[in-house]
């Protein structure tokens, strides 16, 4: 308020007049006939002064109320909070954007390296071969995890284009002892509908990432409703198709990285697919690619 009084020209003039009349009044030794006029003028000056002061006070109050929107503006925290909530939700979605199934201390981290969507199921020994205990769906390039307990054994396999698990699918086989010591291998004994390659992250690998179905003789493959190929596996070698399909896979892949025949684990080192037996790792990375 003091700044307003000092800068108001009209108020300054009134103060100067008041000061002049005061000096004039004080300079007279005794009251004169002009004293009443002086008092009247002083009264008018005081009234105008009070009027200006009231206006100044009102202006100050108005100025304070105009600052209120600034305060309101500065408290636009809710919009920032909303933004933070959105980011947090996005982060939570990014954290769960992959896919995971199963439970236990052992993990198969699987990546779809094929050109089509994959449905990969986990099957346990002694259980169903058509209904998995755990299942993940992966787009091309997407990764997910399947987990299993110590003391469990089984395999992971890819369903056909209709979502049905066939007995002729490639298998990523696993078994974990009660102490978490794993034996993992890749088997094409029953057939090959996917190329599977697995690593323990410690230098051991099994399987392959080759796509060989497109070059296979027509008699050695079957195709599902979606046109996906499966190379006929050796199985027990009881038919010509089994023998031919098994021979084709062996010629392309050998037996040192995956099972082609049931007794390949009897082969000498270099031709034996049990390259990841008695493995201390409990976390594996695997690729499921085109057959």
pTM: 0.67
Token pair listed for 11 = 């108020």
Classify residue 252 as exposed, middle or buried by CB count within 10 Å of its CB (0-12, 13-18, 19+): middle
| Dihedral sign for Cα atoms in the order 136, 138, 144, 148 | positive
Nearest to 284 by CA among 224, 196, 216, 223: 196
Nearest to 142 by CA among 114, 122, 172: 114
Question: Per residue of the chain (291 residues), what is the pLDDT tens digit?
Answer: 444 444 456 656 666 666 565 555 545 444 444 455 555 666 666 677 666 666 554 554 444 444 444 443 333 333 333 333 333 333 333 333 358 999 999 999 999 999 999 999 999 999 999 999 999 999 999 999 999 999 999 999 999 999 999 999 999 999 999 999 999 999 999 999 999 999 999 999 999 999 999 999 999 999 999 999 999 999 999 999 999 999 999 999 999 999 999 999 999 988 999 999 999 999 999 999 999
Interior/surface letters 58-97, b for 16+ CB within 10 angstroms, e for the rest: eeeeeeeeeeeeeeeeeeeeeeeeeeeeeeeeeeeeeeee
């Amino acid at each position: 308020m003091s700044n307003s009084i000092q800068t108001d020209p009209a108020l300054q003039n009134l103060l100067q007049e008041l000061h002049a009349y005061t000096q004039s009044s004080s300079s007279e030794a005794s009251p004169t006939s002009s004293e009443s006029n002086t008092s009247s003028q002083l009264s008018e000056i005081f009234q105008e002064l009070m009027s200006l002061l009231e206006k100044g006070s009102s202006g100050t109050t108005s100025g304070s109320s105009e600052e209120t929107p600034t305060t309101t503006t500065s408290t636009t925290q809710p919009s920032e909070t909303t933004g933070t909530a959105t980011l947090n939700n996005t982060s939570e979605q990014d954290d769960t954007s992959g896919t995971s199934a199963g439970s236990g201390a052992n993990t198969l981290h699987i990546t779809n390296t094929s050109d089509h969507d994959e449905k990969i199921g986990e099957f346990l020994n002694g259980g169903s071969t058509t209904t998995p205990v755990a299942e993940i769906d992966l787009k091309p390039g997407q990764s997910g995890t399947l987990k299993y307990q110590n003391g469990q054994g089984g395999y992971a396999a890819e369903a056909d284009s209709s979502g049905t698990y066939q007995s002729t699918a490639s298998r990523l086989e696993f078994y974990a002892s009660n102490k978490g010591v794993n034996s993992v291998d890749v088997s094409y004994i029953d057939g090959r509908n996917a190329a599977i390659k697995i690593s323990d992250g410690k230098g051991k690998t099994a399987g392959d990432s080759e796509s060989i179905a497109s070059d296979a003789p027509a008699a050695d493959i079957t195709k599902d409703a979606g046109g996906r190929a499966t190379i006929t596996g050796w199985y027990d070698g009881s038919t010509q198709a089994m023998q031919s399909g098994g021979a084709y896979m062996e010629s392309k892949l050998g037996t040192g990285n995956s099972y082609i025949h049931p007794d390949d684990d009897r082969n000498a080192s270099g031709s034996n697919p049990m390259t990841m037996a008695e493995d201390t790792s409990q976390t594996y990375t695997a690729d499921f690619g085109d057959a």
